Chains A and B, each alone.
Chain A
Amino acid sequence: MIELRDVHKTYRVIKSRPGLGATIRNLFAPSYSYVKALQGVSFTIGEGELVGLIGENGAGKSTLVKIATGILHPSGGTVLLDGKSVHDHRKECALKFGVAFGQRRALWWQLSARESLQALGRIYRVPSSEIAGRIEQLVEVFELGRFVDMPVRQMSLGQRIRCEVAGALVHRPKIVYLDEPTIGMDVLAKIKMREYLKRINREDGVSVLLTSHDLFDVERLCERALILDGGRLILDETFEALREKFCGSRVLRLNLASPIDDGRLDGIDGIEVMPGEDRWRLKILFDPVKRPVMGLITELGRRLDIVDFMVEDLPIDEFVAEIYRTRGER
């Protein structure tokens, strides 16, 4: 359905120099640096796939979404939607996808959300006899009833984002790009959005590419993860495969009666101390096959004043962080 082939994007960024003199020099002789936002990214998203795009700040997630939607032109490579270049056939391709950017406004500030959704329906060529019905459905799904007739500028951030996501779906696209759509959304709204996206995925085969800083959201909705680091696609796996890969790992959380001193855990094999909150609370990553939990607790108990402990699966954000840490060490 959508295919990215060896996509590169390099931004030219003006170098700011400190001081008034340097600022004036910059006016006449600016110097530039080049930022490689994407470096040879290739992947395919098939019909009905739910894909999460994960990456640290500046990893290239938003750039990738903008290139995939034909908004930004890549410095190299191609993006095909149903076999057609999204950059050469931008208008035709745009009818097939919906896009919501959490930090951009697709709705008109002075109009009510309902008027904005009606205008979007017309722009996306939804038959006029169907627009009202589709809007009512979205109002119901996203629970917009209380504020859909309010001017967008008077809405809270969460209310506005819910309307923005509804706006991306009014024309029933085949693929939905959601770039940080959950900013400002409350828990119930997030759940409603996930349920609706899963429903249209199941019933209509709609594909979704979701980027979010909240990995819990991504994991709850998506089946497949794409992880970007420094503009490169470092991992493309299903969440299930990722869990299997890391399923051996557990996190041991310890609450201590007294703060831990440096070097107290030196010499204990098969564990990794994870960044913790303070010196009274420890997080230790271990593999229970190699280090059975009772033996580990006993050994730790000899060295630490343990008040309480808990063993849990490695949460999604921890294993993504683990992937980054592993790459950083290489």
Chain B
Amino acid sequence: MNHYLAYSAVAIKEGIAFRVNLFTSMFGGLFQLVLLTSVWRAVYLGQGDLAGYDESEMLFYVVVATAMGVGGLLSVGPIIGRRNDTGDIVIDMARPVSVPWSYFFSTLGVYALRFWIKGIPTLIIGLILIGRVPPVSLHRLAAFLLLLAGGSFLHFCLNLGVASFAFRTRSAYGINILWTAATAFFAGLLVPIAFYPEALRQVVEWTPFPSVAYAPIRVLMGDEAATGGFGALYSGVLRFPSVPAAVLEQITWILIALPLAFRVYRWNEKSVEIQGG
């Protein structure tokens, strides 16, 4: 384990060396927040509830989702893209470690910084901006943090499998853009999934994406989190309470995604072609 933690330590040190980048990207998250809250305020002008959310709930959702998006998800796509493009992936593959796990621990180091320097400030400033901190029970907060960690890890697994196709396509640029857009859409980082048309919502609920962000946020907000997909199975058929059902749904997706992502990664890794010195 110590040899993998070395990757996290290096990522933190490198992140601190890039501290100007960190702080400027924090402002990027804040601009995004101001834009989204303004749009939603305009949408709610003269409206009551929309898809079960009143305006203050919606603004709270936007603040938490934006904070998660900028500082709460483990993304391995940028590392894979960078290492593949420069050819330095050959160095990673020459080391006595599992390359995907070394990337996991590297992103964990990046995440440790981003969470505190981007995620938490975005959340605090966002809550000040909307002027409302809803009452959240301790057990809901604990469940949210657990689901946040699980969602982040699930995001890593899914991202690993998809980003590794860059070894075949020779570039991760398009894959990473597509991934960012797909996650924002399917995980409910931009718009709650409840807003989607019924047919699309049902499809999305049978994907792992809601467990990445939508379920944790709904748990924090005190809503029924496990309303579709495996969650509906656990809460509706097996009669689990909503929060444990959401946790179980997330664990189910991790158990599916983790071995699958590693298998896909290893399959794609065989296509790595870095020619020349």
Partners in one complex: yes
A103, B94: Cβ atoms closer than 8 Å: no
Interface size on B (CB < 8 Å)? 28
Is A231 located at the chain interface by the 8 A CB criterion?
Answer: no
In the complex, what residues of B have CB within 8 A of residue A217's CB? none
Chain B residues near A109 (CB-CB < 8 A): 14
Report which residue of B13, B17, B97, B275 has the largest number of chain A beta carbons within 10 angstroms of its beta carbon. B275
A192 at the interface (CB under 8 A from B): no
Shortest A95–chain B CB gap in Å is 4
The residue that A110 contacts in the complex, of B17, B88, B94, with Cβ under 8 A, is B17
Which 9 residue pairs of A and B lie closest in terms of their CB atoms, listed nearest first? A110-B17, A122-B6, A94-B96, A103-B277, A95-B96, A71-B93, A110-B14, A119-B6, A106-B91
Check B2 for interface membership: any CB of A closer than 8 A. Answer: yes
B: residues with CB less than 8 A from A are: 2-3, 5-7, 9-10, 13-14, 17-18, 87-88, 90-91, 93-98, 270, 272-277
Q: Are A71 and B6 in contact (CB under 8 A)?
A: no
Is B18 touching A66 in the complex (CB atoms < 8 A)?
Answer: no
CB distance B91 to A105 under 8 Å?
yes
B2 to chain A: closest residue by CB: A122
A101 close to chain B: CB less than 8 A: yes
Q: Does any Cβ of B come within 8 Å of A11's Cβ? A: yes
Which residues of A have CB within 8 Å of B97? 91, 94, 123
Q: How far is B96's CA from A94's CA once the two chains are assembled, in angstroms?
A: 5
A residues less than 8 Å from B3 (CB atoms): 122-125
A104 and B96 contact, CB distance less than 8 A: no
Shortest Cβ gap from A62 to chain B (Å): 5
**Chain B minimum-CB-distance residue to A14:** B170
Contact partner, B10, options A12, A108, A180, Cβ 8 Å: A108
Pick the contact of B18 from A90, A105, A110 — CB < 8 Å?
A110
For the complex with contacts A70-B94, A94-B95, A101-B91, 15 further pairs of A-B residues with Cβ separation under 8 Å are: A66-B90, A71-B90, A72-B90, A90-B93, A92-B96, A101-B90, A104-B87, A106-B91, A108-B13, A108-B14, A111-B13, A123-B95, A123-B97, A124-B96, A125-B2
> When A62-B276, A72-B273, A104-B91 are in contact, do A119 and B98 touch as well, CB less than 8 Å?
no
Chain A nearest Cβ from B110, distance in angstroms: 13
Contacts of A106 in B (CB 8 A): 91, 94
- Closest residue on chain B to residue A90 by CB atoms: B93
Does A102 sit at the interface, judged by CB under 8 A? Answer: yes
Bound complex: CA A119 to CA B4 (Å):
10
User: Considering the complex, which residues of chain A in the window 274-289 have a beta carbon less than 8 Å from any beta carbon of chain B?
Assistant: none
* Distance to closest chain B CB from A292 (angstroms): 45
What A residues does B276 contact at CB under 8 A? 62, 103
Given contacts A11-B275, A72-B272, contact A123 B90 (CB under 8 A): no
- Contact call A91/B98, Cβ cutoff below 8 A: yes
CB of B83, distance to nearest CB on chain A (Å)? 10
Interchain nearest-CB distance for A131 vs B (Å)? 11
At the interface, yes or no: A228 with Cβ under 8 Å from chain B?
A: no
| Nearest-CB residue, chain A, relative to B9 | A119
Q: A91-B98, A124-B96 are in contact. Are A104 and B90 (CB under 8 A)?
A: yes
CB neighbours (8 Å) of A99 from chain B are 94
Whether A47 sits at the interface, judged by CB under 8 Å, is no
30 sampled A-B residue pairs with Cβ under 8 A: A37-B275, A62-B276, A69-B94, A70-B94, A71-B93, A71-B94, A72-B274, A90-B93, A91-B97, A101-B277, A102-B277, A104-B90, A104-B277, A105-B91, A106-B91, A108-B10, A109-B14, A110-B18, A111-B10, A115-B10, A119-B10, A122-B5, A123-B95, A123-B96, A123-B97, A124-B95, A124-B96, A125-B3, A151-B17, A179-B277
